[in-house]
Amino acid sequence: MVGPIYIIAVALGIAFIMGLFGKSLKNFTGWAMLAGLGFMTYVSGQWLLEFLNNNRAVETIYTAGFKPPYSINLQMGSYEALLTFLINVVGLLGGIYLYKDLKKTGTNAMVVFLVFIMSLNVVVMTRDMFNLFVFLEVGSIATAGLILLDKNGNALQAGMKYLIATGIIAGILLIGTIFAYYFAGSLNIDDILAANLGAAKATVIAVFLIYVSILLELKPFPANGWGIDVYTAANPGIGALVSAASATAMFYVLYKLLPLGGAEWLNYIAVIGGITFVGSNLMGTKQNNPNRLLGYSSIGQIGLLTMILGLSDILGEKLVFVAFGILISHYAAKAGLFWLSGIIKAKDIKGWAALRKSPFLLFLFGTFVFALIGFPPFPSFFGKWELIMTLATGGHWAWMTVILVGSFIEGIYLFRWLGYAIKLDHEELPDFKIEWNKFFPVWVMAIVLYAVGVYVTPMVEGGSFINYIPLMFVLFLFAIDFLPVYIKNTVSIGGIIWYMFHIYPVLEGDLLRLIFAGIFLIGGVLTLMAGYSKKGTRKGFYPMAMMMFAGLIGIIEASTLLEFFFSWELMTAGSYFLIIRGKRSMPHGYSYMLFSIAGAYAILFGFGLAFASGFDTSLAALGSISLLPTLAYTLLAVGFMTKTASLGLHIWLPGAHGEAESDVSPMVSAILLKAGVFGLMILFLYMDRASTGATNLLYVLGWVGALTTLMGNMSAAFQEDAKRLLAYSSVAQLGYILFAISIMTQLGWLAGFTYTINHFMFKAVLFLVIGGIVVKLGTHNMYEMGGMIKKMPFSFVAVLISIIVIGGIPPLSGFAGKWLFYNAILEKGWYFQGAIIFFAGIIAFLYLYKLIHSVFLGQLKDNHRNMKEISAWILIPSYVMIIGIMIFSAFPQYILKPIGNMIAPYFSSEALSWEGTKALTSFGYWDGTTVMIVVGTAFVLLLGWLVALSSKAKKIEQFNIVFAAERPHRPETTHVSYNIYAGYQKALGFLITPFVTAFWDAMSNLVLEVANWLRRIYSGSMQNYALHVVLFIVVFYLIALGGL
Amino acid sequence: MFIAIAIVIGVASLISGFIAIHHEKLSVAIIASGMVSLFASVIFLLLAAPDVAMTEASIGSGLTTLIFFYVLNKIRQRND
Amino acid sequence: MIKKILIIGLLAGVGLIFFDLFNAYQGSEVLGKTGRYYAENGADEVGAANLVTAVIVTYRGLDTLGEVTILFLTAAIISFVLKFRREDFIPNRPVRITSELLDSASQVIVPVIFMVGIYIFINGHLTPGGGFQGGAVIASGVLLMIMANPNFGISHKVIAKVESISGIAFVLIGIMGIFLAGGFLDNRLLGLGNLGELFSAGVIPIIYTFIGLKVGAELSNILGTISHAQNEKN
Amino acid sequence: MEYIIISTGFALALLGLWGILSQKNLIKIILGFTIFNTGINIVMVSIGYVRGKAAPILDVIKPSEAADKIVDPLPQALVLTAIVIGLGVTALMLVYALNLHREKNSLDINSFKDLKW
């Protein structure tokens, strides 16, 4: 074992030797620096391994051979080993990354770099207050020097600001240190902690001074203008180190000194951290400069970590896990992002669109963003989970809210940025060079994130159940991403089919889950089949699609809250990438993500309440929520409704589904939306329905469902875009489902199931077929289509059948749904809502007519004369679905009866009974099989008659019509379906004025305005920044000790 | 006796400090700041800290002042 | 004006903190635990008559290493910051005519100053003063040389060598402490000798000599770099 | 006596802070820093002072009776370190000022506001 003291000795020795040979042997100094950093990494890594494997005692290093407090001692325990290792790794990688820049500046810069990393090591290890001060100063001076690696005026200014601010802070720390010595009689940190200085009125001032200076070093809002400027102006390679290494070291200093003042101080620390977390992220929303944005994000994350330390009493033994999970994610992601920024060299985050040129870098970027927000499988996900669960256990709702709100705000700008990188239209993508020495460190950080994420999974309660097999499959698909579509498609379909066999025995007997598993998996296979019509490699599609399906099936399989949430987030991430693939999908993917994150956090909050109610980690905990049950139910429902796109939360859907690729639309519409339905069903089944909260919630949700339907159908009727029409139709259909299950009777649920199954099938068909046609015709606008019936007869039939289902016209299963639905409404007595639904149902006919008429009937357009039927790969799955529809229509009893039996125990009365093929309610009966036979016979007879007559029909050439003398200025306006419902729009359009969109727009403007107003405190004046620092000290003093 | 010296030196150092911050001429200000250090080193002697006094005198009032003048000189040369 | 008032208000707040500190300060009648330990054991354990030196070089040697590092860093940073445009360096810039007096005086005085400096740091363990003070004195000698001859720059290399070698020596002596004595920077590598003699206190005189040389070199380096800094806008 | 001295130290620190926060000229601000640091150093040495005791140098004082005759050497050692660190920081700040002046030909602190928000 190499003693930790050699970290200092060797680093300094090398630094001095570099000075000796520097001028003459330039290459030597570069390698010497890397060797020094490598050595430091080795020493700390070896200690880390030792602590991990052998569980040995903490090693104390006595310098000068005397015992503390008379000499300085360092400590190497497991935390020190871990943190110095992290610091040294990022130092080594940063050294590799900056190798050329450092070399250009000369040996002196390398010396400064090496000493910088060394000083952070000592800061972590030292147990002596004044030694801490000295090496903090070493670090500050080195930072001030490294800022000037990029020699520009901004860096100079930032460096000066940094020097001024840290100068004041150092002075305060010095006074605090000497008074701590005066009161405690020792400079040794352990002695000072043992002296309990927080207890006495006089001595507490020393505690305050030490706390305030350490907190200021962590750049608390608003006294952090100097820190942000450093991130902005310095070379991103330096920004990475300041963000990852310095912050890590400072964080540990705070941890070391945490017990200094006692419990009362923890509150202040938590509050300061919380304000920093939210404030800094809020201001980040207005940033366009990537480095500055990262600066805000860094400060925000450190604020979160500070807050976590402040909450350490509450977190208890979970503290270490939570802090580690969030710290390591911040560390790796921030370093990686800064390094990426140095590769791209864009002055504006829009310039990151250049990343598209390198899919690997884009992958890394996505990894870092998702890790920062806390998505699975990254450690921050587990950290946040444990954090929320533990806080909920203690009943700290306010802190939970702060954390979730702050994280959401962080998502606002990170996902905007990611969206730019993936999709932004940019005339000129700036060129960037990828040098291996810059690329390699970024990669390492991404691997760290994944590896640590998987490594910590079993440490979370219930984490060991998480199924990583689907994720391995995703990874495998990444690995074969270079292969052509048909291979990957086959592999993906094969994977899903294999999983079906795998999961069937698991779910057998659990019909609810089996149905949804069927929707997700069968739907997955069928929609994927359409992928055979695509050519090329379709980069990135399959891993993401499989990630979504992995998440979906994970939700089904989940037996614990954690598994459920893990899969939920996984599904969100995968679907986000699928949605944003569409041509004009950037804003829609963005809003989808924001709603999803907000929804996920609502769910997380609800899960927290559920867990805290009985310390039950299984999903059954939802059934015994005793803490704020109404709030919990509401949050969970809202969370699930972000996926079902209910009124108010729907604005992401039309764009997201409408603009998605032709086979993605059915995936996200027919399949993905059902995840929300599944969540709602689980919630409704578990929750305590008798409670007033639940009853009221269900009543409200019923209304929401009804209004969603109305709004969805009306909006659909006024669409000119075929896919958006379908998207709004989905909104409406999900409204029916929400309404139906909110009724909470057996009939209602049966209706809900029927609608769910129906919508799954017909929406898949419609989106597949219409999507195929849209691609084929090259336009979304229905008024540019027409007469396709002859060109695409199979498509026509498919769409026709689907429309019959939506319309609820006998004999197809849509009617079964409607019949059950109205029975349920009558039984429940929700007449008024029922009326709205009924009215909405009429409006549905308007858009259905519009859809089939303007696409298939009417005049064939000149430019479409040579069109052929859409790809068989689209038609095959569509017709499989149609067969499904037919079977379900003819023999509904085979599905509805078991469902009825399954849900019967949950409901007081059995409202639906079966007599053979006949379904009976108190209001009447319906026999799907008979109806099918009768209508089918009639249809065949009529068809035969028509065919017989058709020989006599007179053929009329197209355009054999008499035009008025003029040709209209815009020919499409003469299309029959152009603005077809202008009259209705005049009469009823006010109902769908985009209030909701306007509301969310106003909300986002409000956030941005607040951010803009808030950031004016960063006036750029270094003196003002110094003033902020002093102001922070004084205000903190007055609040904390003003009463003395 | 010591108290009287302490008061005198203390007041003198504060006056020098005030001059250092408020005198318009930078050179005077720098010298005044050097005086503060000089007075401080006397104070250190009073506090039985000859080592510190020596350091303060040589580094605080000596070298620091010199560096200030060097930089001031550079800036003046540029302004010419 | 409003800002001035705000600042005064803030300073009143800081003044309040200081006032509270002042109130908490009681003076001392006797040594504290740590101070007492040094007073009682410093002479035996370290062998230096000057206890401040004992604390600086041995008990808190790591601080001193950090301190030396800070000067080293400052010198390094200043040299790469002011070297913005080394290539523009004009060797034949007009030489300032220095006075005959200064020139000849420096010939005589500089060696004396160096001697004084060396004396100060060699006797650091006995009398007030030590590496830092001695180093500062040496730097002032170098300063005089620069003033006497503005183009004096040859010694840059020598200075760098002195600085590096003394730095390495400092660290090496520190490491030797781990093997041969109680720990990093332990001074008991050599016998402690008799209290108050020049050759006593273990390696303290040696370390302090290196510190003195190093500090002198670093300070000279800083002064030299600033004095040679270019004036062009970069 | 030490009360007077420690108050002087606090007063100097405040004075320095005033200079840092109120002056517009960068050189003046840096002067403010040196005064701020000097004040803190005086406070630190005062903390180590023991009423009526001598310097911690054992030339005439015998080691055996040192504990009752000398002041605390530790704060003095700390201040020594602090003074040297102060020199380093001051020199660095001055070099920054020099370069800032090179950039904008001004020492006014308000002319360096390029980075904001």
3-class SS of residue A1043: coil
* pLDDT value at A164 more than 50: yes
A179 with C21: Cβ contact below 8 A: yes
Q: Phi/psi zone of residue A907: left (φ > 0), alpha (ψ -120 to 50 degrees), beta?
A: beta
pLDDT in tens, A668-693: 999 999 999 999 999 998 888 888 88
pLDDT in tens, A311-357: 999 998 999 999 999 999 999 999 999 999 999 888 888 888 888 88
D85 to chain B, any CB pair closer than 8 A? The answer is no
Radius of gyration of chain B (CA): 14
Crossing angle for the helix pair A692-717 and A629-644, to the nearest 10 degrees: 20
* 3-state DSSP percent of chain A in helix, strand and coil, to 5: 75, 0, 20
Q: How many CA atoms lie within 13 A of A51 on its CB side?
A: 17
Neighbours of B11 (CB within 10 A): 14
Confidence of residue A297 (pLDDT cuts 50, 70, 90): very high
D3 to chain C, any CB pair closer than 8 A? The answer is yes
Closest to A809 measured CA to CA, from A761, A836, A848: A848
Instruction: Give the mean model confidence (pLDDT) for residues A95-117.
Output: 90
CA gap A265, A310 in Å, rounded = 8
CA A41 to chain centre: 34
**Chains in contact with C via at least 3 Cβ–Cβ pairs below 8 Å:** A, B, D
- Contact status, residue A536 vs residue A530, Cβ threshold 8 Å: no
CA A533 to chain centre: 30
Q: Could you tell me the two tokens for D86?
A: 């102060």
Radius of gyration of chain D (CA): 19
Lowest mean pLDDT across A482-486, B64-68, D102-106: D102-106
Give the per-residue pLDDT at A787.
84
pLDDT in tens, A693-724: 889 999 999 999 999 999 999 989 888 899 99
Sign of CA dihedral A851, A856, A862, A866: positive
Residue A771, domain extent: 461-943
Instruction: Give the mean model confidence (pLDDT) for residues A145-169.
Output: 89
* pLDDT value at B72 more than 60: yes
D47 with A160: Cβ contact below 8 A: no
Give the per-residue pLDDT at C51.
87
For an interface test with D, give the residue of A140, A141, A146, A163 to mutate (most D CBs within 10 A): A163
| D57, β-bridge pairs | C50
Buried b or exposed e, range A571-582, using 16+ CB within 10 angstroms: bbbbbbbbbbbb
Give a yes or no: residue A1 inside a domain: no
- Contact status, residue A856 vs residue A790, Cβ threshold 8 Å: no
Say if residue A202 is exposed, middle or buried (CB neighbours under 10 Å; 0-12, 13-18, 19+).
Answer: middle
**Cα–Cα distance list, A1032 to A4, A165, A204, A1029 (Å):** 37, 12, 18, 5
For an interface test with C, give the residue of D72, D76, D102, D105 to mutate (most C CBs within 10 A): D72
Say if residue A34 is exposed, middle or buried (CB neighbours under 10 Å; 0-12, 13-18, 19+).
Answer: middle
CA gap C152, A302 in Å, rounded = 49
A130 to chain D, any CB pair closer than 8 A? The answer is yes
D112 to chain C, any CB pair closer than 8 A? The answer is no
Q: How far is D54 from chain C (nearest CA, A)?
A: 12
Chain D residues with beta carbon closer than 8 angstroms to that of A167: 20, 33, 36, 89, 93
A65 with C186: Cβ contact below 8 A: yes
| A188, β-bridge pairs | A128
Model ipTM value = 0.94
Chain B residues with beta carbon closer than 8 angstroms to that of C140: 58, 62-63, 66
Q: Where are the alpha helices (DSSP H) in A615-691?
A: 629-644, 653-659, 664-666, 673-686
Q: Could you tell me the two tokens for A333?
A: 């992601």
CA gap D12, B60 in Å, rounded = 15
Instruction: Give the mean model confidence (pLDDT) for residues A877-890.
Output: 92
**Cα–Cα distance list, A78 to A45, A52, A385, A455, A732 (Å):** 11, 8, 24, 17, 57
D96 with A168: Cβ contact below 8 A: no
Give a yes or no: residue A412 inside a domain: no
3-class SS of residue A75: strand
Q: What is the 3-state secondary structure (H, E, C) of A343-394?
A: HHCCCCHHHHHHHHHCHHHHHHHHHHHHHHHCCCCCHHHHHHHHHHHHHHHH
B53 to chain C, any CB pair closer than 8 A? The answer is yes
Tell me whether chains A and B touch (3+ CB pairs under 8 A).
no
Domain residue ranges in chain C: 46-87+97-228
Where chain C has pLDDT below 50, the residues are 84-95, 232-234
A262 to chain D, any CB pair closer than 8 A? The answer is no
A1030 with D21: Cβ contact below 8 A: yes
Residue C40: which H helix or E strand, with range? helix C33-45
Give a yes or no: residue A286 inside a domain: no
C144 to chain A, any CB pair closer than 8 A? The answer is no
Sign of CA dihedral C162, C166, C172, C175: negative
Residue A74: which H helix or E strand, with range? strand A73-76
B17 to chain C, any CB pair closer than 8 A? The answer is no
* pLDDT value at A943 more than 50: yes
Q: The whole model's pTM is what?
A: 0.93
- Contact status, residue D55 vs residue A133, Cβ threshold 8 Å: no
Query: Mind listing the domains of chain D with CATH numbers?
Result: 2-111 (1.10.287.3510)
* pLDDT value at A962 more than 60: no
- Contact status, residue A746 vs residue A900, Cβ threshold 8 Å: yes
Q: How far is B33 from chain D (nearest CA, A)?
A: 7
Tell me whether chains B and D touch (3+ CB pairs under 8 A).
yes
D102 with C231: Cβ contact below 8 A: yes
* pLDDT value at D13 more than 90: yes
Contacts of B51 (CB under 8 A, 6+ apart): C50, C52, C53, C128, C129, C130, C133, D55, D76, D80
Give the per-residue pLDDT at A506.
87
CA gap A681, A515 in Å, rounded = 12
CA gap A1029, A216 in Å, rounded = 7
C85 to chain D, any CB pair closer than 8 A? The answer is no
Tell me whether chains A and C touch (3+ CB pairs under 8 A).
yes
Give the length of chain C.
234
For an interface test with C, give the residue of B2, B37, B51, B59 to mutate (most C CBs within 10 A): B51
D40 to chain B, any CB pair closer than 8 A? The answer is no
Lowest mean pLDDT across A736-740, C194-198, D26-30: C194-198
Give a yes or no: residue A421 inside a domain: no
Q: How far is D72 from chain C (nearest CA, A)?
A: 5
Q: Could you tell me the two tokens for A739?
A: 């309404």
C130 to chain B, any CB pair closer than 8 A? The answer is yes
Give the per-residue pLDDT at A327.
94
Give the length of chain B.
80
3-class SS of residue D78: helix
A1031 with C234: Cβ contact below 8 A: no
Q: Could you tell me the two tokens for C150?
A: 């503005």
3-class SS of residue A912: coil
Chain B residues with beta carbon closer than 8 angstroms to that of D2: 47
Chain C residues with beta carbon closer than 8 angstroms to that of A115: 69, 72-73
A134 with D81: Cβ contact below 8 A: yes
Q: Where are the alpha helices (DSSP H) in A242-289?
A: 247-257, 263-284
Q: Give chain A's domain count.
A: 1
Chain D segment 61-90 residues within 8 A of C by beta carbon are 63, 66-68, 70-74, 76-78, 80-81, 83-85, 87-89
C128 to chain D, any CB pair closer than 8 A? The answer is yes
Instruction: Give the mean model confidence (pLDDT) for residues D86-99.
Output: 91
CA gap A1015, A165 in Å, rounded = 18
Chain D residues with beta carbon closer than 8 angstroms to that of A160: 26, 93, 96-97, 100, 112
D58 with C49: Cβ contact below 8 A: yes
Q: Could you tell me the two tokens for C78?
A: 């200043």
pLDDT in tens, A4-37: 888 998 998 998 888 777 666 667 888 889 999 9
- Contact status, residue A833 vs residue A738, Cβ threshold 8 Å: no
Cis peptide before A811 (omega within 30 of 0): yes
CA gap A503, A487 in Å, rounded = 24
Q: How far is D115 from chain B (nearest CA, A)?
A: 24
Please provide the DSSP assignment of A325-342 as one string: HHHHHHHHHHHHHHHHHH
